Structure 1
């Protein structure tokens, strides 16, 4: 699992390591890792043109020391100083001693030095920076031509704790981060600016860092959570999920939600609603009912909302049930905050940015710019687990780090894709996973299925549902490499 820590936690951990080691050890470890990654990207170091964009403080020091290492291997290294009077003294001396060139940002040749580089190292602002790039820094970043851009610890202009970007920011091809991941490297829009993230070990142990702020599941984590039937299992012991979805206008939403549910690990799927004929025609194994949810039979979890229209009565019956409930789409619009907060059983809300904005009473742009804070606020306000869909899907609950889904593809932004996810996650709820795990595992499998189904081309929601068994088999393989 990738775990990410706040700036405050990282700073505290660094102080612990510095107290038990020689002075400057952290910076030298960071510089060595940064230089090694730059060398790997260059392939041939000797004769390469490298430009360092250097701000004040330790971030610039990391860049200067790494540049000195590259210069000693024959690279032509130039440092453009944005604050010459506050540049790291030791790093600057090391670069000069190695034969590096030092240029002030206000010199006429500065932009040309940047434009001619084959590799540019962003050491402008560290993880404690706030707000976008200042004008002089933005001007130099704009001068980059065909160079590979490597960010030191975090792209300058990205908020390390949230991934928010306010103003101009560096778009890196690779970010070399030190000691621990920061939430802003995993959460959009920051994730998009970070490019490929490389973690360099500088001696920080989890015990030095305290509580994680965010985490991203990986294959092994998902494998451990997948529900697997045993020898004594039957369809009821494996869990039954109820689906209340669809309407005369949107029968397809019911079909797609059932498709996701049938592939989600539960033993049986009950469908309740007016799209029963469409559902049974496509999936004859479904247990269908046109009556109220309370008369449909026993379930271990409900999914309500996709294509529901204005059917508040059926929604109310589901919310009154004493089993876990996943609420999506029209269900989010119809359910009141009090209705959700007063539920005794777990609740999983699955809004996209527009639905989240409506629930919070803010503009959609505010949610998209601050995804982490929006997910946390929704979880707090509604007393529920929240799966905020989008370019990076987040799962937030009242306890524990926010889960960040690392899978997916932009091709999943297609009609009905969310209906499939609702059914899949709801089925995992019925199979016994708690709301946080069901949302996280569902998002992970759904994202992988989107990748498998699309292979870089347009994809329909039904294709995503059909790909779920393949990704389930891949993730669940004990012999996977």
Structure 2
């Protein structure tokens, strides 16, 4: 599992390790990893033109020591000093001893224009509020040069703990981060500024509970339900789908598709789209309603395409089984009922729905996704899956937020969220907890989106159809 830790946690771990090491040893570890990563990105080090953008903190010191290492291997290295009087002294001495040069900001233009690689050491993980004007002008020169940009620890100008970008920031082709991932490197919008991220182990001892975590193949494979010799359709999990309306029957069909492809032993459908559901999936058990009279289920999905049928939503929420609420269900659900449920509840809003639930603008949710998903989980006592370019899953009782590393821009298509709801509902019915069901569902859904699209448009039905293949890939 990939994990990320907050600035405060990283700082504490660094202080503890520095107390055990000779002075400067930790920075040398970071610089060695940074220099090696840059060397890997260059066609060759000897003769390469490398420019360092050096701020006043330890981030600039990392860049200077790494630049000295590259200079000793034959690179032509120039450091642009944004604050000459506050530049890391040891790093600057090492750079000059290696035969490299340093110039002030007003001498940056000609060296940046010829650079093969630019190392961003302007601001470290403690930076706030975007780049200052002189740094922003320098970064604009870098952008015009077309040089390869490598960020030191994280791109300057992005918020390490939240992934917010509150002003001008560096857009890196690659980021070399130290000790652990920083939350901002895994969350949009900062994620798009980081490029390819490489983690350098510098020996930090970190607490077992991270601030952010991302499942990988092995984690998902371990969580996927698998029927045993004694399994029957009921033991595998029965999921109820309360979705669709006369206006939106397709939402019911797609949610059912996600549930069937998500491993449910049986699917019970309640709603006015029974004919459409049965025409596509004759194995589904249909009922006229209300949901509470449809028969035993281990979990419910309510809301996709349900229109204004508040009674169906209320009936589902009154049942003492896990419930996933999506789409229209988020608008129709009584907040006090959501907060008062004792069985697990999963909410799956997109940014607009999250904004309506929180009473804020959509823009504020999109720019601060991590804080928004945490606030939703706390306010509604529910697991929250916040959909979007970076899908986040926050647990109801606090703890690490999961970020989904899979997906494709082609998933931004009508009905894709209905498939995800059914898939997550099936995993809930199989016995997975809210956080696991939501994060595993998002992971598989993202893989299915990639497979279905393969670089071309794909429909939500295509995504549902690709789920068995990606399930096999993960298990294999």
| TM range, smaller chain | over 0.9
Q: What SS does the aligned partner of 1:79 have?
A: strand
Q: Which residue of 1 aligns with 2:81?
A: 81
Task: After superposition, give the CA deviation of every residue in 1:175-201 in whole Å (9 maximum; x if it has no partner).
Answer: 000001110001111111111110001
123-132 or 397-406, which deviates more: 397-406
Q: For 1:111 and 1:370, locate their aligned partners in 2 and report how far apart those are by CA, in whole Å.
A: 34
Does residue 171 of structure 1 match 2:167?
A: no
Quote the residue 2:323 is aligned against.
325
Hey, what does 2:365 align to over in structure 1? 367
Alignment pair present for 1:58 and 2:73: no
| Structure 1: distance between partners of 2:434 and 2:453 | 28
Partner residue of 1:439? 438
Q: C-alpha distance in 2, partners of 1:415/1:211?
A: 37
Deviates more, 1:209-218 or 1:252-261: 209-218
2:377 aligned to 364, 379, 390, which one? 379
1:33 corresponds to which residue? 33
**What is the TM-score of this pair, normalised by structure 2?**
0.99
Contact 2:378 2:398 in 1 (8 A): no
Query: What's the counterpart of residue 392 of structure 1?
Result: 390
The answer to whether the Cα contact below 8 Å between 2:260 and 2:267 also exists between their aligned partners in 1 is yes
1:234 to 232, 245, 250: 232
CA distance in 1, matches of 2:414, 2:280: 18
User: Which whole-Å CA distance do the structure 2 matches of 1:113 and 1:134 have between them?
Assistant: 21
**Aligned positions of 1:103-142 closer than 5 A:** 103-105=103-105, 107=106, 109-142=107-140
Cα deviations by residue, 1:318-361 (Å, 9 ceiling, x for unpaired): 00000000000000001121110011110000000000000000
Supply the distance in 2 between the matched residues of 1:399 and 1:307 (Cα, whole angstroms).
30
- 2: CA distance between counterparts of 1:414 and 1:113? 45
Deviations 1:79-106 (A, max 9, x none): 001111111000001111111110101x
For residue 13 of structure 2, what is the aligned residue in structure 1? Answer: 13
Structure 2 SS opposite 1:236:
helix
Following TM superposition, by how much is the alpha carbon of 1:112 offset from its aligned partner in structure 2, in angstroms? 2.1
The alpha carbon displacement at 1:471 in A equals 0.5
Deviations 1:249-298 (A, max 9, x none): 00000000000000112200111000000000001111111221011110
TM-fit CA distance, 1:210? 5.4
- CA positional deviation for 1:43: 2.3
Partner of residue 255, structure 1: 253
Q: Is the 8 A contact 2:374 2:398 kept in 1?
A: no
1 CA distance for matches of 2:302 and 2:110? 59
Q: Please tell me whether residue 301 in structure 1 is matched to residue 299 in structure 2.
A: yes
Partner deviation per Cα, 1:448-467 (whole Å, 9 max, x = no partner): 00011111111110000000
Q: Which residue is equivalent to 2:69?
A: 69
1:404 aligns with 2:411: no
Maintained 8 Å contact 1:9/1:210 = no
The aligned residue for residue 195 of structure 2 is: 195
SS in 1 for 2:12: helix
Check whether the contact 1:120–1:147 (CA below 8 A) recurs between aligned residues: yes
| Structure 1: unaligned runs, 5 residues or longer | none
Partner of 2:334: 336
Aligned to 2:185: 185
**Alpha-carbon shift at residue 211 of structure 1 (Å):** 3.2
CA distance in 2, matches of 1:391, 1:462: 20
SS of 2:50 mapped into structure 1: strand
2-structure distance, mates of 1:52, 1:104 = 11
Question: Are 2:268 and 1:280 aligned?
Answer: no
Q: Which residue of 1 aligns with 2:243?
A: 245
Q: Could you tell me whether the CA contact under 8 Å between 2:348 and 2:385 is conserved in 1? A: yes
Are the counterparts in 2 of residues 50 and 77 from structure 1 also a CA contact under 8 Å? yes
Query: How far did 1:111 drift?
Result: 1.8
Number of equivalent positions: 473
After the TM superposition, list the runs of 4 or more consecutive aligned residues in structure 1 that deviate by more than 6 angstroms. none
Task: Note if 1:465 corresponds to 2:464.
Answer: yes
Deviation (angstroms), 1:117: 0.5
Alignment of 1:447-458 (within 5 A): 447-458=446-457
Partner-residue secondary structure (3-state), 2:235 = coil
Alpha-carbon distance in 2 for matches of 1:384, 1:332: 12
Give distance in 1, aligned partners of 2:13 and 2:352: 38
C-alpha deviation, 1:205, in angstroms: 2.6
Cα distance between partner residues in 1 of 2:95 and 2:344: 58
- Alignment-derived partner of residue 155 in structure 2: 155
Deviations 1:339-396 (A, max 9, x none): 1001111000000000000000000000000000000000000000000000110000
User: Is the partner of 1:230 in helix, strand or coil?
Assistant: coil
User: Residues 132 and 165 of structure 1 are in contact (CA less than 8 Å); yes or no, is this contact kept in structure 2?
Assistant: yes
**Is the partner of 2:225 in helix, strand or coil?**
coil
